[in-house]
Amino acid sequence: MVGMELVGTSQKTVTAREAGLVSCTRCTRAWPIETKICGRCGATLVSRDRSSLQRVWALWLVGIMCYIPSNIYPMLHTKQLFSVTESTIIGGAVELAQYGSYVVAGIILFASVVIPLGKFWAIAFLAVSVKQKGGFASRHRLLMYEVVEYIGRWSMIDIFVVAILSALVQLQGLVSISPGPAAFFFALSVIFTMLSAQAFDPHMISDAKTDDDEAAVDD
């Protein structure tokens, strides 16, 4: 009998805000909701950042604006005796593949195209989804947010590959490779995209879930 009752019982998930708590976004320590300053790290405690979406979209747009020229301007300047060639991100990866550096070319393409476009799409999806009821499950959106936060630290890997490649090639004396202006714009794009992801308040995902649950109860 007890087992049959438990099967049909649905438990409501209580958020920290409903429990009278506020968590620090820097050290994740939970404090009473009336606390203004984190006693562990000194950060300002805010239960909900109402202006976070505005910062997310502003930083996201600047990241997009920097990403476009990073794919137009040359990423690599290659000097070979009497010739100088310039290559974009994709063109440089293709050229490296032609010389047999398939692993390096794959890393550059993955870090320069797949990861940035995926982050742009994920941040925009999260920012839009918290304003819409229903749709994607909240746990999936939280997982997406954690993935975006995790891969942010790998977004500059192609810049490091170019720097290492430049140092190694210049040791040979016949060929020299140096970063182009696209490296500057790509670095700016990565920085603004990371700031956009950090400006997003993940508590809004749980708020959207609470609204969906209340709407379902009303129906």
pLDDT tens digit sequence for 131-188? 776 556 677 888 888 888 777 666 666 566 666 556 555 545 566 777 788 888 988 9
At residue 27 the predicted structure's pLDDT band, cuts being 50, 70 and 90, is confident
Tell me the per-residue pLDDT of 197-206, one tens digit each, with 9 for 90 and over.
Answer: 888 877 777 6
Assign 5 to helix, strand or coil: helix
Domain 49-218 bears CATH identifier 1.20.140: yes
CA–CA distance, 147 with 210 (Å, rounded to integer): 23
Name residue 178's beta-bridge partners. Answer: 77
pTM of the model: 0.70
Contacts of 197 (CB under 8 A, 6+ apart): 119, 123, 145, 148, 149, 152
* Structural domain spans, the chain: 10-47, 49-218
**Residue 183, burial from CB neighbour count under 10 angstroms (0-12, 13-18, 19+):** buried
